[in-house]
Amino acid sequence: MEPLVRKIDSQLAGLSPPLAVQLPGGRRVGPASPVVELAFGDWSSLATLAGGQIGRLAEDIVEERVRLTGSMRDVMNVASQLLPGTPVASDTGWWTQMRRRAKSLAQHTPQKDAQQVQFHYDVSDDFYALWLDPRRVYSCAYFRDVEMSLAQAQEAKLDHICRKLMLRSGDKFLDIGAGWGGLLLWAAEHYGVDATGITLSKNQHAHVQRLIESKGLKGRVRMLLRDYRELEGSAVYDKIASVGMFEHVGQAYMAAYFGKIRDLLKPGGLVMNHGITAGGIDPGQLGAGMGDFIGKYIFPGGELLHISHVLRELAAAGLEMADVENLRPHYARTLWAWSDGLEERLPEAQRVLETTGSAPDAAKVLRAYRLYLAGCAMCFERNWISLHQILATWPDGHMESGRLHGAQSAYPFNREYMYR
């Protein structure tokens, strides 16, 4: 094992912040005063570290084959330096792409999507409430002012979306993947829309139903426990938003997703698609075991596409891209705010999770979420993944529609209205 130990020792040299490693049997390698420390129970996990397989190392930590000491910010600083290269997917072989498409088709039936969404979002409402903002907005915030708190930035994001969509009183508005109701209720209370939200999470559905009742919005706001493919009707909605949902759709179903949106949207109407996009141009997940970790412990069935692929699918469905905004560093800051919030309340988080499972299971979930939140913050900071808001319309074919001749939609082809 000495060659492996020497390789580890050379990897540790020069790391900032300093990392020390405790080998199986108790021997320590690395600086005397480390900021981050890893204690290994077996040699196979140590080989994972030597190979720069950060995602697999995270799995070993979750399963307690490795013990981790150090702040999440320091841990991710070290992790980024241990990677042998970029983790952005680069396998473009036709066989690999065909296998990915086949897997995507199998993973995203309505039944499996419901199971996968509930696996993540129904962990525990009280757990999420510990580290999200008071509205429980579980998507990228918008730090219009760099001094904003997380709660302020989430409200700024909700309003930014409503402004982009030009929401007006009486508009029929659909929120696909409405979460705990942040955007749905903001649009109804501040813009007077007739709002419909859908989710596959039973916990979220029940939570929003209670909010609708308590706010006296019954009749004007409704929340449905429904798959987007099950929505019926043609040209039903003036405006549609999808926030943090299309990551669950799957590459193989992207055409059907945008096609359904087009069918539900009134001609000339607007749609906002806000979601995570891949850093790599070709379809695939993050390497170094990072994508596998997310799929196993956090988002089973999650798939990311590069913005260029998303725009291609959107255009193929007959929708016209009107505006695209990249909010990547906003999501890095959002995730660090969530991570810091969870780190401040770890004992309470453990107790909350124990109400829905055993203490060992609760501890395992907590370890996974600590690594997930901080790891995703690192990925957004380093441009390995991104976040785009895409504003699009379904042109109505009438040259006189809109403010400019040929606009064929409500979109004014001018960004000024978004920021007034």
Q: Supply the residues annotated as catalytic.
A: 376
The answer to whether 342 and 370 have CB atoms below 8 angstroms apart is yes
Interstrand relation of 66-69 and 36-40 (parallel, antiparallel or unpaired) = antiparallel
Buried b (16+ CB within 10 A) or exposed e, 39-57: ebbeeebbbbbbebbbbbb
| 8 Å CB contact between 82 and 54 | yes
Q: Which residues pair with 388 in a beta bridge?
A: 275, 326
Q: For the chain, what percentages of helix, strand and coil (3-state, to nearest 5) are there?
A: 50, 15, 35
Going by C-alpha positions, the residue among 279, 273, 278 that lies closest to residue 319 is 273
Tell me which DSSP letter residue 144 carries: S
d(C-alpha 121, C-alpha 164), whole Å: 27
**C-alpha 396 chain-centroid distance:** 32
Instruction: Identify which of 10, 68, 76 has the alpha carbon closest to the alpha carbon of residue 38.
Output: 68
CA atoms within 13 A on the CB side of 97: 9
Sheet holding 385-393, edge to edge: 221-225, 194-199, 172-176, 237-243, 265-278, 385-393, 320-326
> Strands (DSSP E) along 327-408, which ranges?
385-393
